[in-house]
């Protein structure tokens, strides 16, 4: 069963400053700030929400089709996705652009300075959900503003069930636009902070948002998640991780578990636990696409943690 994953494909360049930013920034001189940090540690990871969700969904045995726009430097990322059997018919290359890139510098207090170059993502509205045959499910994850509006409308027009995931794109939309996309979507997912923002922007509380969807999912980090559905709130416990190495991409892994569980027709308590476990398995590894396991291993871990088997 195919799932179209609308969102970004990006390179994440992560650097570590072996000191504290505060030791090198004069508070009374920030208006003329001019600093340079030596970063002896650096790594480059494959990222972007579409890539992360697709990678994790593939681990579960799904058939993800990322829909994204990339640039002239996409070659290494293409090879990585092809090596893991992820289809690329929905990826469009713009040779006069760069692939979206995020540059993150972290100090020893885990403070971060981040710069994001959208590159080819600014052209993402040139991709159309309507051009993809045999779509059974979809997700509209953070992407260009026009693309997110367009993809939501296109999924709804085709009658394809989909998840609306505003995430980092929260500042891009008006309250009316949010209300429209929520009404078009079958499911909405946000974290607890984003949930407060979404309620503020729409003027709807969590119960009202849930009434416009089949389920409103709110993730709570290490405290698990809540699924508002059918007039009830289902509490999902967090899965246990063996170690916390890197939480980056945990939310995208959760979304992959959510998609897989919905498409397989599981009940909401099971869907939520599958998603929770996917997030826990991710944080045990650095980067967003470096964890490896089979579905059989996932199912065995699920039974061990939650006390029952996946049917």
Query: Distance between CA 152 and CA 182 in Å, rounded?
Result: 9
Query: Distance between CA 255 and CA 190 in Å, rounded?
Result: 10
CATH number at residue 86: 3.40.1190.20
Residue 28 lies inside a defined structural domain of this protein:
no
| Eight-class DSSP state of 241 | P
Residue 14 lies inside a defined structural domain of this protein:
no
Residue 43 lies inside a defined structural domain of this protein:
no
Range of the domain at 87: 2-9+49-99+121-306
Residue 15 lies inside a defined structural domain of this protein:
no
Give the CA distances from residue 113 to residues 21, 192, 214, 239, in Å, rounded to whole numbers and listed in that order: 9, 23, 38, 30
Residue 19 lies inside a defined structural domain of this protein:
no
pLDDT of 253-262, one tens digit each?
999 999 999 9
Residue 279 lies inside a defined structural domain of this protein:
yes
pLDDT of 268-295, one tens digit each?
999 999 999 999 999 999 889 999 999 9
70 pLDDT above the threshold of 90: yes
Residue 39 lies inside a defined structural domain of this protein:
no
Query: Distance between CA 241 and CA 47 in Å, rounded?
Result: 22
pLDDT of 87-144, one tens digit each?
999 999 999 999 999 998 988 887 888 899 999 999 999 999 989 988 999 999 999 9
Query: In the prediction, which pLDDT does 189 show?
Result: 98
Residue 229 lies inside a defined structural domain of this protein:
yes
Domain count of the chain?
1
């Amino acid at each position: 069963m195919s799932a179209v994953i609308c969102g970004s494909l990006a390179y994440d360049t992560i650097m570590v400053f072996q000191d504290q930013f505060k030791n090198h920034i004069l508070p009374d001189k920030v208006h003329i700030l001019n600093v340079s940090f030596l970063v002896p540690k650096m790594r480059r990871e494959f990222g972007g929400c579409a890539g992360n969700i697709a990678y994790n969904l593939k681990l579960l045995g799904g058939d993800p089709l990322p829909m994204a726009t990339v640039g002239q430097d996409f070659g290494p990322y293409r090879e990585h996705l092809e090596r893991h059997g992820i289809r690329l018919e929905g990826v469009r290359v713009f040779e006069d652009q760069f692939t979206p890139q995020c540059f993150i510098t972290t100090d020893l207090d885990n403070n971060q300075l981040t710069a994001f170059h959208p590159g080819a993502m600014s052209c993402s509205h040139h991709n159309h959900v309507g051009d993809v045959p045999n779509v059974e499910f979809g997700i509209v994850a953070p992407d260009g503003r026009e693309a997110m509006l367009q993809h939501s409308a296109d999924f709804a027009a085709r009658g394809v069930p989909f998840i609306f995931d505003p995430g980092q794109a929260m500042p891009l939309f008006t309250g009316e636009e949010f209300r429209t996309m929520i009404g078009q979507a079958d499911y909405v997912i946000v974290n607890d902070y984003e949930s407060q923002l979404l309620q503020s922007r729409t003027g709807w509380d969590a119960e009202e948002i849930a009434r416009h969807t089949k389920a409103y999912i709110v993730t709570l980090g290490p405290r698990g998640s809540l699924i508002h559905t059918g007039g009830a709130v289902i509490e999902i416990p967090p899965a246990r991780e063996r170690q916390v190495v890197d939480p980056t991409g945990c939310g995208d892994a959760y979304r992959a578990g959510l998609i897989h569980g919905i498409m397989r027709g599981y009940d909401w308590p099971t869907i939520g636990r599958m998603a929770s476990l996917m997030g826990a398995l991710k944080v045990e590894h650095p980067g967003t696409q470096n964890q490896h396991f089979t579905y059989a291993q996932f199912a065995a871990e699920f039974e061990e943690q939650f006390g029952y088997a996946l049917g």
